[in-house]
Structure 1
Amino acid sequence: MSGINYSEKIPNNVNLAEDRTLQRALEQWQPNFLSWWGDVGPEGSNDYDVYLRTAISVDPQGWAQFGYVKMPDYRWGIFLNPKEEGRRIHFGDHQGEGAWQDVPGEHRANLRRIIVTQGDTEPASVEQQRHLGLTAPSLYDLRNLFQVNVEEGRHLWAMVYLLHRYFGRDGREEAEGLLERRSGDEDNPRILGAFNERTPDWLSFFMFTYFTDRDGKFQLSALAESGFDPLARTTRFMLTEEAHHMFVGESGVSRIVQRTCDVMNQLKTDNPETLRAAGVIDLPTIQRYLNFHYSVTIDLFGADESSNAAIFYSSGLKGRYEEGKRGDDHRLKSDAYRVLEVRDGKLVEKEVPMLNALNEVLRDDYIKDSVSGVGRWNRVIEKAGISFKLTVPHKAFNRQIGTLSGVRVAPDGTVVSQAQWDAHKDQWLATDEDRAFVASLMGRVVEPGRFANWIAPPVMGINRQPMDFEYVRFN
């Protein structure tokens, strides 16, 4: 099961050749996917030879190989983790029952909705990042962008396989819809708000891959608990690839911070204007970008009180992050959880049934994980001897979904008036001026071993290659 058959038109480890109807349907979808990639995939990249990793197995040891590939020739495919014989559902009303190998009729609509929503995020991020290759700060970074892009494309294939295999005509129509929506399109946008935001520069890209791909980690981890076994097996393998996307984000921001700190010490200043004149991104601007991407991302977890979240959990469709490590009864019918509301002009906690607060549970798990990475960025600043600290804003800051939507809250958690928000928002969120300045730094660097002035080199090359390795060959 762990090996992947690359002799087939669609590489897979699901014995696709044994289901000729399904194989034909996916082979008909494949040209549409390639057309979508050509239309809104990485701009101008079709003839490049890119040093990419390609999955060759779902075995954790030696699961990928590296080599030069033209991205339109990348072997996108369908890879599921091996089936766990005797696997049982371990949460919700179906706890103890055998995991489903087919879609239960009563859960069909909700499962389809979950798969479509997850699937929609994958092509959306490729569309958001379409133009970034034109301003890459190095060949190393350009290759990492392209690796993220092709793997998001494969994650789309993973969801499309489930739609085609298990949802009949409805699934085929939904799979077509995944190629028809466009990020930021007024008439046919992507389903989730964060995936309609622009990603115009590399600081935005690194923040996106750190924060928003981390949302992907937690959503996929929750789906990896699903009682619908094909979904669980699919998302477990997707998590293997997702780890690199978060690494790109965390290391990218860390390298920007490192370069800024180096210049601060060389010039013996923390003045933002002086640092901007020196061609690096000042730390307060990095903080404002952080505030924006973090707040947009935590909205992706949905409303703090959600009947849908309760239904998904009780039905066995979507668990919690690391469900098996939790010591409760995994039914939660008598459990409570604290969520925030505004009362008398202040944020206060109230208890609600935990089943209805499961979006908030997942959001809080995400927040803990996000804070740890920001702490690693701060260690770079501390090591440079600079007295500045990047912080994650309060989870009520700049929220657009749920009870806190529209409530004006400062990064420190203080509820403020609209007038106070208007007076201070340019100190808290990236401004048009900030974005114009960052954009002004974005010039393409393609000489092997060279890096743009605003970012430090990485500690190590991809697959232990030397720093001047030719990660992308232009033809």
Structure 2
Amino acid sequence: MSSINYSERIPNNVNLAEDRTLQRALEQWQPNFINWWDDVGPEGSTNHDVYLRTAVSVDPQGWAQFGHVKMRDYRWGIFLNPGDASREVHFGDHKGQKVWQDVPGEHRANLRRIIVTQGDTEPASVEQQRHLGLTAPSMYDLRNLFQINVEEGRHLWAMVYLLHKHFGRDGREEADALLQRTSGDVDNPRILGAFNEKTPDWLAFFMFTYFTDRDGKFQLSALAESAFDPLARTTKFMLTEEAHHMFVGESGISRTISRTCQVMNELKTDDVEKIRAAGVIDLPTIQRYLNFHYSVTIDLFGADQSSNAASFYSSGLKGRYEEGKRTDDHVLKGQTYKVLEVQNGQLVEKEAPMLNALNEVLRDDFIKDSIAGVNRWNKVIEKAGLPMRLTVPHKAFNRQIGALAGIRMSPEGKVISAAEWEGRKDEWLPTPDDRAFVASLMGRVTEAGKFANWIAPPVMGINRQPVDFEYVRFG
């Protein structure tokens, strides 16, 4: 089915009404989801009418409609890409076999783990962004934040549907637990470290949506290759929504840089104190935020060498990014891939079995994609006639997971002593003073067409609306 049935209590295109037991279970979960949204969703937003897009079909073209809606009334639902009856597994040990519509018993635990881990990230980011609406730099940006929030909520529904439908009592318990963990909670935190970090300001939010949602793109793309067809179809549709989240991040940073460059040229200075005194975010601070969010995000790909990654691939559970475009045998036994480790105080490359290095393969794909966007930011600086360029730090910088965890490394990739790290880390990572300064700029702007001093307006509004459109109507 490509159309979505909005007449039911839970909108869907999976014929939910034909499975009464599943429908009842999900309808019992639904009030808990709404309670979670009320408790830790966007603060102070209950009465806002927000110009949101809603999926009306899962066709690649024209899948969404726009209109003002209260977020609490948003029609969260279950949307899978259309199935292909002839689809075969195209990688791993089951290559050439028909894809699975049900979970094979031997892969049950691993598939559940994959779905729970992905599902846990979705509500986590809503929790991390809970307070940002109170300091939005414009009505346009506020609307984009809320669009991301409701879609992360829908991505949670996507994973909960799979847990309920395919994993029985275990799945129902896991679905309940997704609403019980909370980002940053001391006793019951989210599963992955990056989703327990604070997102205290809009520069952090834009970096999060650029880098961390890009991790989502690569993880979802790898799952969209899965031999478990319902998971593949679910994640393919999630990718349609994810694209907007990355656009918000990339364009948000670009607009921040544009405004900074404008002020630097007006003042004819690169003096950080003078730039800050003019109420914009200096480029060195943007670089430090970039270093932090990039390094935290590349840890999300996991250890450089992982027997789980090998097992997931060989079993057909999780492929590579754009698996179908690769020209190898899609089995990978006997093939190798270069990974990094430190030997005698030096960073060295070594060959590892490719199956075990698949986390690193995905991380490197992410890095290439990330660098492309940073280069686009640099074009904004270049066009302004300024000499500084933003750079992505070395992938061994500030790592907490894998063989590079805890290695003291400069952004350029030089192994340094603990003493040098302590002496220079404030050059490379946001300091409390940086965060306090950025926080000091975060004043809420809610007049249509007006923008905070530190950020430039967008070139174009959402859905071809004018920039001064009333994206949010305050109740």
Secondary structure at 2:382 match in 1: helix
The match for 1:118 is 118
1:415-458: CA deviation from partner (whole Å, max 9, x where unpaired):
00000000000000000000000000000000000000000000
**Separation in 1 of the partners of 2:329 and 2:466?**
51
The match for 1:360 is 360
The match for 2:50 is 50
Aligned pair 1:15/2:34, yes or no? no
Q: Give the deviation of 1:462 after TM superposition.
A: 0.3
Give the AA of the match of 2:289. Answer: Y
The match for 1:343 is 343
**Separation in 1 of the partners of 2:234 and 2:362?**
20
Structure 1: gaps spanning 5 or more residues: none
Aligned pair 1:29/2:51, yes or no? no
Secondary structure at 1:87 match in 2: coil
Secondary structure at 1:275 match in 2: helix
The match for 2:88 is 88
Secondary structure at 1:246 match in 2: helix
Q: Give the deviation of 1:409 after TM superposition.
A: 0.5
1:260-301: CA deviation from partner (whole Å, max 9, x where unpaired):
000000000000110000000000000000000000000000
**Regions of 4+ moved over 4 Å:** none
Q: Give the deviation of 1:344 after TM superposition.
A: 1.4
Give the AA of the match of 2:334. Answer: S
Aligned pair 1:407/2:410, yes or no? no
Aligned pair 1:449/2:429, yes or no? no
Aligned pair 1:313/2:319, yes or no? no
1:334-376: CA deviation from partner (whole Å, max 9, x where unpaired):
1000000001111100001000000000000000000000000
Secondary structure at 1:97 match in 2: coil
The match for 2:127 is 127
The match for 2:432 is 432
**Separation in 2 of the partners of 1:331 and 1:159?**
28
Secondary structure at 1:256 match in 2: helix
The match for 1:41 is 41
The match for 2:168 is 168
Q: Give the deviation of 1:85 after TM superposition.
A: 1.2
Structure 2: gaps spanning 5 or more residues: none
1:132-157: CA deviation from partner (whole Å, max 9, x where unpaired):
00000000000000000000000000
**Separation in 2 of the partners of 1:186 and 1:272?**
37
The match for 1:418 is 418
Secondary structure at 1:85 match in 2: coil
**Separation in 1 of the partners of 2:435 and 2:95?**
50
**Separation in 2 of the partners of 1:367 and 1:88?**
30
**Separation in 2 of the partners of 1:279 and 1:111?**
49
CA RMSD of aligned residues (A): 0.3
The match for 2:186 is 186
Aligned pair 1:102/2:127, yes or no? no
**Separation in 1 of the partners of 2:371 and 2:199?**
22
**Separation in 1 of the partners of 2:60 and 2:307?**
37
1:43-65: CA deviation from partner (whole Å, max 9, x where unpaired):
00011000000000000111000
Secondary structure at 2:179 match in 1: helix
| Aligned residue runs from structure 1 range 71-86, under 5 A | 71-86=71-86
The match for 2:381 is 381
**Separation in 1 of the partners of 2:268 and 2:340?**
43
Aligned pair 1:332/2:332, yes or no? yes
**Separation in 1 of the partners of 2:110 and 2:98?**
19
TM-score of the aligned structures, taking structure 1 as reference length = 1.00
Task: State the percentage of identical aligned residues.
Answer: 82
Give the AA of the match of 2:218. Answer: F
Aligned pair 1:269/2:269, yes or no? yes
The match for 2:236 is 236
Aligned length: 475
| Aligned residue runs from structure 1 range 214-225, under 5 A | 214-225=214-225
